[in-house]
Amino acid sequence: MSNDDPYAIRMYEPGDRTAFLELFDDVFGGGSEAWFRWKYLENPYVSHVPMFVAEHDGDLVGARPYMAFRLRMGEETPLGLQTGDTMVHPDHQRRGLFTRMTERSFEYYGDLAEDVLTFSVPNALSRPGYLKLGCREVGQLPTAYRVQNPAALADGLASRAASVLSPIVTAGLRARQLRASVPTDVRVTRHDDVPASTLAALYERSVPDAAHALREERFYDWRFDRPDWAYETYLARDRASDEPIAGVVVGRQEQGDTDVVALADVVPLVGGDGRRRGLAALLDRIVSEEADADLVTATSSVIPKSLLYAYGFLPDDRLPLSRVTTPTVLISRLFDGREEPSWRLNGIRLDDPESWRLTFTEHNGF
């Protein structure tokens, strides 16, 4: 900060936590000590809090945090930082603080010896800012919704979607499920926790070359310890051997008046007939037991679209949902300190949508 510059841009310090939470409550509402501790202090992949802040007259007026993941891309495991919780106090907006905090983060992580990249799903308002800073749009991350109560949906979707979707809900969901073919050689077990070793072993059975979060035991132990979501696990087991062949972590959260259930993670991420049979049995059990939820959502990049359709899920990139939903768009770039960053890491194109295999696990909102 110079004599003419009223703002100091710096890394997060331990004494900033209370001020961060106060600013978060002012800007977004909510936030808690437990949530902050889980997301930023207990993350197993960084030894620091990956956050840059703006300070004015001793007050914290802006923050540019990242949620850290260890990504897997072929045989490499670079550090991946996902943007989220970016905020500037209303009295200090439109003064370039978002840009300055982000540029400072690019400088810091670009100087590290290891490869570090950012990947994010910013909203339409903040996306142009990232693009100006050298990020690129990778493509849309398609999401599928099983809308079980259109009238309960929030954020303006309810009134528009109710008239469009009610006939589908009332006439189609149960009929589709009845027509779905449920494998008889698979049984499903439900667990009120997230069995880290079992899920990590399922993941290792078929690992894609595309970029995704490394799913190891410590990842599962941390990732699904989030205090503002409730998680449980469904495992599909081969009846003959009783061995797990697929698993789904299901998250639940009340969002306003809407009861949302998310298929937060799916393992293995890729696979053949055994995986498909397991997923069919899992979807059948999950939609039956979550019939009271207003909304069940899944990422269609890891579950066959035909299976999702069979169980009443509609994609948000096609009618009718494309009329009433906002696309989720992935952006990315390397922190390599160059004005024009490289777009290839370990032979993988970062700006190619086929280079990514993501679930809600890699999304800081779930």
- Computed over every residue of the chain, the mean pLDDT equals 90
**Distance in angstroms (rounded) separating the CA atoms of residues 171 and 79:** 47
Q: Which fold has domain 7-140+328-362?
A: Aminopeptidase (3.40.630)
The model carries a pTM of: 0.91
Phi-psi region at 124: left, alpha or beta (left = phi > 0; alpha = psi -120 to 50): alpha
Question: What pLDDT does residue 2 have?
Answer: 57
154 compared with 140, residue with greater pLDDT: 140
Residue 174 pLDDT grade (very low, low, confident, very high; cuts 50, 70, 90): low
Helices first, then strands: H and E counts in the chain: 9, 18
pLDDT in the model for residue 280:
97
Please compute Rg for the chain using Cα positions. Answer: 21
Q: Do domains 7-140+328-362 and 143-323 have the same CATH topology?
A: yes
User: In the predicted model, is pLDDT for residue 213 greater than 90?
Assistant: yes
What would be the CATH architecture of the domain defined by 143-323? 3-Layer(aba) Sandwich (3.40)
Q: What is the pLDDT of residue 171?
A: 47
| DSSP code at position 327 | P
Which residues are 145's β-sheet partners?
297, 314
- Average pLDDT of span 276-295: 96
Q: What is the pLDDT of residues 179-198, one digit of tens each?
A: 568 999 999 999 999 999 99
Mean pLDDT of 153-177: 50
pLDDT for res 337: 66
Least confident of 116-130, 266-280, 285-299: 116-130
Q: Tell me what pLDDT residue 30 has.
A: 84
pLDDT for residue 339: 65
List helix spans (H) across the chain: 17-27, 33-36, 97-110, 127-132, 157-179, 196-204, 217-223, 273-289, 305-310
Domain ranges of the chain: 7-140+328-362, 143-323
The mean pLDDT value for 342-354 works out to 91
Which among 89, 7, 11 has a CA at the least distance from the CA of 53? 11
* pLDDT band at residue 129 using 50, 70 and 90 as cut-offs: confident
Query: Model confidence over 21-39: pLDDT tens digits?
Result: 999 999 998 889 999 999 9
Q: What is the DSSP pairing of strand 212-213 with strand 116-120?
A: unpaired
Instruction: Inform me whether the pLDDT recorded for 154 exceeds 50.
Output: no
**Position with higher pLDDT, 362 vs 326:** 362
pLDDT at 167 over 70: no
